[in-house]
Amino acid sequence: MTDATFKPTIYLKAGCPFCLKVRLFLLEAGQLDQACLREFVPGDDEETTIRELLAPAVETVTFPTAELTPGRFTTESDAIVAHFANLAGVDPDVLPTYRSYLDGVYKGMQSLFRENLQLKKQAESA
């Protein structure tokens, strides 16, 4: 596949707030058709397939993960949003639904995510 025919692929986990952030941006910015989305429900067969596909390409398999250009992967939701915002010439900060998600639900989810990581570290050291 040449660069001209390449379509970025974004791997998403259902229920993941970081994945929802990317999907919401793409939807509101009118960029959903610019990428192939591969989503799985945790625990299904597609998850195993996707994890096996990504393992050789990224240091740690996390979601979202995107292959933005052939062989170039990123696991950072902000980098994925920035890539598509740049392509579309869209400032994510002016998208009202995206901003509302980031300033509301997402902010709370980030707090819970950090707390969960901290609790896991404490449990491992106990």
Q: pLDDT for 35-57, tens place per residue?
A: 999 999 999 999 999 999 999 99
| Fold classified for 9-125 | Glutaredoxin (3.40.30)
pLDDT-derived band at 2 (thresholds 50, 70, 90) equals low
Burial level of 58, CB count in 10 A (0-12/13-18/19+)?
Answer: middle
* Extents of the domains making up the chain: 9-125
- The residue written with tokens 């692929």 in the block is 9
15 in the Ramachandran plot: left (φ > 0), alpha (ψ -120 to 50) or beta? left
This prediction's pTM: 0.87
For residue 3, pLDDT over 70 is answered with no
Say if residues 102 and 110 touch (Cβ distance below 8 Å): no
For residue 27, pLDDT over 80 is answered with yes
- How far apart are the C-alpha atoms of 119 and 107, rounded to whole Å? 19
Q: Which residues pair with 69 in a beta bridge?
A: 72
